[in-house]
């Protein structure tokens, strides 16, 4: 018998589909439900019966502590499906170190995140933050400083660092808008890459001087932490703009703020920050050329269905002994 740790909400919503996958694959499955009361904990016998776990979207954030207490206390846990994309939180490192296989929901939120990032690009390109400020002041300001209107987006260069599902979708839409898209990725080129050029990470500094737009879409790792530091920012051309939907620690925030304040950078769309929630005294809140969103670029009604579809597919793969989708590495 294979035990699956599951939240009560996920069991109610997807219990029939989980049972169908188990029946189709002849997997003898027993559900170990997370206690309904968030303060309750599973007993030793129940923990010993957990082989698999589904960290579903309904668990985060209110019941995360309860869920991971159970997962870390389960001596026989072998695989966990995550509702999130990144595995940079310490608890995931601890599970990987214990030999637990982790699979993410990479790709499930790629479209909404990419659409939000492109919305940020369009808003900055069309000077919407300034026009929104004029609206709040009830002032009619159809012109621009020095009578210089915005540049055409077509023909500008966007450097996208990270070409996973999210970065690739951003690149695809950007090319539709007429931008020249340069991708930065460790793995070699593929025929369906939605970029005009592809370069390895070692070429990043050489690429930055041509970037009208720098888009960060990489996971947070030891290699990407502080990737865009003061030196990298200084390599960007005057008037460049930055989009970060990766992790706040990928860019040195103080250096970014300085470049925005002194005018080297023309603007930024930021969904992630070094400290979250973003402190009330952060200069980023008040900078007129910055759009701040509270780490919610992925929000969309269809996410839960897409995430669950990945879990159900992986559950079938697990039962059949096949390779799992989106498996994280220690």
Catalytic positions, please? 247, 276, 295
Helix axes 90-97, 64-73, angle to 10 degrees: 20
Long-range residue pairs from 135-138, CB within 8 A, at least 24 positions apart, any chain:
none
CA dist., res. 63 & res. 212, Å (int): 42
Q: Which two tokens stand for residue 131?
A: 């026009």
Identify the bridge partners of residue 103 per DSSP, sorted by sequence position. Answer: 81, 327
From the list 134, 136, 131, 181, the residue with the least C-alpha distance to 154 is 181
Assign 129 to helix, strand or coil: helix
Helix axes 303-320, 8-25, angle to 10 degrees: 40
From the list 102, 10, 88, the residue with the least C-alpha distance to 56 is 10
H-state helical runs in 178-325? 204-207, 230-235, 253-261, 303-320
Identify the bridge partners of residue 158 per DSSP, sorted by sequence position. Answer: 181, 213
Identify the bridge partners of residue 30 per DSSP, sorted by sequence position. Answer: 3
CA dist., res. 276 & res. 16, Å (int): 37
- Beta carbons of 325 and 310 less than 8 angstroms apart: yes
Assign 173 to helix, strand or coil: helix
CA dist., res. 125 & res. 153, Å (int): 7
CA dist., res. 131 & res. 79, Å (int): 50
Q: What is the CA angle 200-204-205, rounded to 5?
A: 145
Q: How far apart are the first and last CA of the chain?
A: 28
CA dist., res. 2 & res. 31, Å (int): 8
């Amino acid at each position: 018998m294979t035990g699956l740790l599951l939240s009560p909400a996920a069991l109610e919503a997807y219990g029939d589909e989980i049972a169908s996958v188990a029946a189709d694959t002849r997997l003898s499955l027993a559900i170990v439900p997370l206690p309904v009361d968030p303060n309750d904990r599973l007993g030793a016998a129940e923990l010993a019966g957990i082989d698999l776990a589904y960290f579903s979207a309904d668990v985060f954030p209110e019941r995360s502590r309860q869920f991971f207490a159970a997962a870390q206390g389960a001596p026989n846990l072998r695989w966990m499906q995550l509702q999130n994309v990144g595995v940079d939180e310490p608890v995931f490192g601890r599970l990987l170190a214990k030999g637990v296989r982790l699979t993410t929901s990479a790709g499930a939120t790629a479209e909404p995140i990419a659409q939000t990032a492109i919305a940020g690009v369009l808003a900055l390109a069309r000077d919407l933050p300034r026009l929104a400020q004029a609206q709040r002041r009830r002032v009619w300001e159809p012109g621009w400083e020095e009578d210089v209107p915005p540049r055409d987006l077509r023909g500008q260069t966007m450097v996208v660092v990270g070409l996973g599902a999210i970065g690739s979708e951003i690149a695809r839409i950007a090319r539709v808008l007429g931008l020249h898209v340069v991708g930065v990725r460790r793995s070699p080129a593929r025929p369906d890459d939605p970029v005009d050029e592809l370069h390895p990470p070692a070429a990043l500094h050489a690429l930055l001087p041509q970037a009208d737009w720098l888009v960060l879409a990489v996971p947070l790792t030891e290699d990407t932490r502080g990737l865009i530091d003061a030196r990298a920012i200084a390599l960007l051309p005057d008037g460049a703009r930055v989009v970060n939907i990766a992790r706040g620690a990928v860019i040195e925030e103080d250096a970014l703020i300085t470049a925005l304040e002194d005018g080297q950078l023309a603007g930024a769309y930021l969904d992630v920050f070094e400290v979250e929630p973003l402190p009330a005294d952060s200069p980023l809140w008040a900078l007129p050329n910055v759009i701040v969103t509270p780490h919610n670029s992925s929000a969309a009604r269809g996410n839960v269905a897409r995430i669950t579809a990945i879990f159900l597919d992986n559950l079938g793969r697990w039962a059949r002994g096949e390779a799992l989708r989106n498996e994280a590495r220690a």
